[in-house]
Structure 1
Amino acid sequence: MTALVSAGAARPDTRVPKGDASRNWRTVWRQYKKCSYLFMMLIPVIVWYLVFCYAPMYGIVIAFKDFKPILGIFGSPWVGLKNFELLWDPYSGFIPAVRNTLVISFYHIIFGFPAPIILALLFNELRFHLFKRITQSISYLPHFFSWVVMAGLLNVILSPSTGAVNTIIQWLGFDSIYFLGDKDWFRFTLITSAIWKEIGWGTIIYLAALASVDPHLYEAAVMDGAGRWKQIWYITLPSLLPVISLLFILRIGHLLDGGFDQIFNLYNPAVSEVSDIIDTFVYRAGLTSMQYSFATTVGLFKNVIAFMLILLTNQIIKKAGQEALI
């Protein structure tokens, strides 16, 4: 009996007394009150999300109705899952749009996702700081141009008759290529132009992550006889893996985004077979054909699939032992 009492006495009581809990809440409240001006700065952001992100979510019900603008959302009749059944109609054009979206998105992931990582590694190896700053600024610059401007530049640069690229191709003895009007070259043009526009901006996060790497690790590697390649492979890349994992999860969430702004500004009927994606399909169905219910159904389907892809990728990354979102 004495042993039991002594054992029980040795076991610490982890329960928080009610008085301590209330004191903790008062401490937290005082901290919030002390930083009240900082929290007031969040109000415009919260209002923006409520008005433009959460309030419009009520419009999802249009996907389950035969929406008539004259009747409004409340007055339009319910049709259940009829609009979702139309998605799989072979004549609706939705399936080719999904296929084009997936193909273009996979190209973006395979070629576009590693590009900023490679460029960040190259910048990190530069020792001439003035040249490094100049090249970084040049690589950032295209990000600040809209796709309207970029489309105009691409039309001039890639023109089959007067474009600089085709002029060089003809000098080399080859026939000119209609990059924006040939189905075999259009996707290549999409991917390369997207990399050109965003590669510099994408390096910012990776360079920030590299700035936090302990320089003593490189000094120890040099003392052990490791060259530049081994330092990159065993120190730099492992230091970037948490950031790469998080950005990869977010990128997978945009798998069904083929890049509406880019394709809409470069789109033409000659390449519609390989360039019509889900977003352009929704634009055409909703605003051009005024099929509001069907367009809402496509958008809802796309967002649900994107959410499921984020959760799936998050679990895979977590199982692999890397940083995850949740």
Structure 2
Amino acid sequence: MLGLNGTVFMPSVLMLIGIPGLEVMQCWIGIPFCAMYIIALMGNSLLLVIIKSDCSLHEPMYFFLAMLGATDIALSSCILPKMLGIFWFHLPNIYFDVCLLQMWFIHTFQCIESGTLLAMALDRYVAICYPLRHGSIFTHQFLTWIVVGVTLRAALLVAPCLILIKCRLKFYRTTVISHSYCEHMAVVKLAAEDVRINKIYGLFVAFSILGLDIIFIILSYIRVFLTIFSVPQKEARLKAFNTCIAHVCVFLEFYILGFFSFFTHRFGFHIPSYIHILLSNLYLLVPPFLNPIVYGVKTKQIRDRMFKIFYSKNVS
């Protein structure tokens, strides 16, 4: 329905371009993206099966790892099916409400993943700095509260982004989203009205969740590594260091990609738009793809369990 001055009043359908400037190559770009998605699904599903089936892995560290794997599966599944529909089958249309729902899922799962990484850092902090109190602190009840708190924090803080778009933005200059998924700012920029409140709240959510999480994670690991390097026994020091290295790798890949994508999007005005889109896509796809590989390689208990599974299949 047309509004004033050629604007569209509350469009029911939007159109996702994909990767502007690379439309001809999107068919080929979809191949590695699909491969990463399949590996992410298989790897994280295998992690969940291993952690659930092995009683020795029913500990807080592996509980958070299972939570991270489930979040990665959900996050990548929110993006890839529609993205591949655009790349391979030329299906760019998406209902406005479905677009908002996808946006809510994507940003909520991003925030849940950040909260899970913070919980993992807290677990390592207590386990290494206060090992005698770890069991009494990380009880089943406390783990449940962490899951509920991390999930509610993400869902409730992201929800107003959708409400502000749905209730405040009525007129749109275009219905074409220059992106491959419904990213918050990409949708907000379509509006022909004042969007300052939407932008400010989006930045508030980003910094209040991701910003605070990264500060507490860094402080936790500084304290952890200071404690590790103060241990006189080399074997104990190496064992404690090895339990943290996988977490640090996952933490770095998630936040470095996130902040690199964020700053190039906000301040890289001379960078081609397809670079921004590719970086934002990789930010959402690379962690689910790499996380099970990192933990499979770096965590001895998981690695041994995987060898047993595949070795027993080969023997049979």
- Fold shared per TM-score above 0.5: no
TM-score normalised to structure 1 length: 0.27
TM-score normalised to structure 2 length: 0.27
Return the structure number with greater relative CO, CA threshold 8 A, min gap 6: 2
Structure with bigger strand share is 2
Structure with bigger helix share is 2
